[in-house]
């Protein structure tokens, strides 16, 4: 019944998949690469909502398709991506009849919802210096290096705060001997002490 409904597309880094207010004409399932979904304010500041990676789909796209509502954020290709897209009408029919797809979508929505709740808790209830230190330590662990190659603006977007706030905290950490700052880079020079600082905050 659903033969030949999928179309494979390649999406270069930097491609804007959806802008806020767009009507979604398809649902994409990511084969490779990463798509970043963010909220962009009128002043140009961004807050990352989540990333869509291999084997996933964008829950806001699905919600927009099923509710016939405009896309409420901006989706940008962060790493060259390949996606399998399904037209919106076909996807709606599949959602109504395919229990496995229903389970996949509901599980994905719940996971996104819980992640968003956690992000809100971090923003509202945790101090920004603690969140920033946690971010730096997580990046080091993920990339297996003490060098984080990101601008202060980029870090601020990841944490949902202002660049000035990130710069102020990083400069204080540098004065205290935890990090060393360079253009577009943050180097952790005393990871053990920084871990101890995080544990006592």
Say how far apart CA 85 and CA 168 lie, in whole Å. Answer: 43
Burial class (CB in 10 A: 0-12, 13-18, 19+), 92: middle
**What confidence tier does 122 reach under pLDDT thresholds 50, 70, 90?**
confident
Give the residue from 143, 157, 150, 154 showing the smallest Cα distance to 183: 150
Rounded percentage of the chain residues whose pLDDT exceeds 70: 98
Mean pLDDT, rounded, of the chain: 91
Q: Is the pLDDT of residue 79 over 60?
A: yes
pLDDT for 90-112, tens place per residue?
A: 999 999 999 999 999 999 999 99
Record the pTM.
Answer: 0.73
pLDDT at 80: 96
The pLDDT assigned to 4 comes to 53
pLDDT of residue 2: 44
């Amino acid at each position: 019944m659903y033969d030949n409904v999928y179309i494979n597309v390649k999406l270069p880094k930097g491609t804007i998949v959806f802008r806020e207010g767009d009507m979604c004409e398809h649902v994409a399932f990511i084969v490779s690469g990463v798509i970043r979904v963010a909220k962009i304010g009128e002043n140009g500041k961004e807050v990352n909502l989540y990333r869509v990676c291999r084997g996933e789909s964008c829950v806001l796209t699905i919600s927009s398709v099923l509710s016939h509502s405009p896309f409420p954020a901006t989706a940008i290709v962060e790493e060259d991506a390949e996606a399998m897209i399904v037209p919106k009408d076909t996807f709606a029919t599949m959602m109504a009849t395919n229990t496995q797809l229903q389970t996949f979508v509901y599980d994905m929505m719940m996971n996104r919802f819980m992640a968003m709740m956690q992000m809100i808790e971090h923003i509202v209830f945790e101090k920004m210096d603690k969140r920033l230190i946690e971010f730096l330590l997580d990046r080091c662990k993920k990339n297996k290096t003490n060098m984080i190659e990101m601008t202060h603006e980029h870090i601020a977007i990841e944490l949902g705060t202002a660049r000035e706030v990130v710069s102020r905290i990083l400069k204080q950490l540098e004065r205290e001997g935890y990090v060393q700052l360079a253009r577009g880079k943050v180097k952790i020079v005393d990871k053990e002490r920084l871990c101890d600082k995080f544990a006592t905050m």
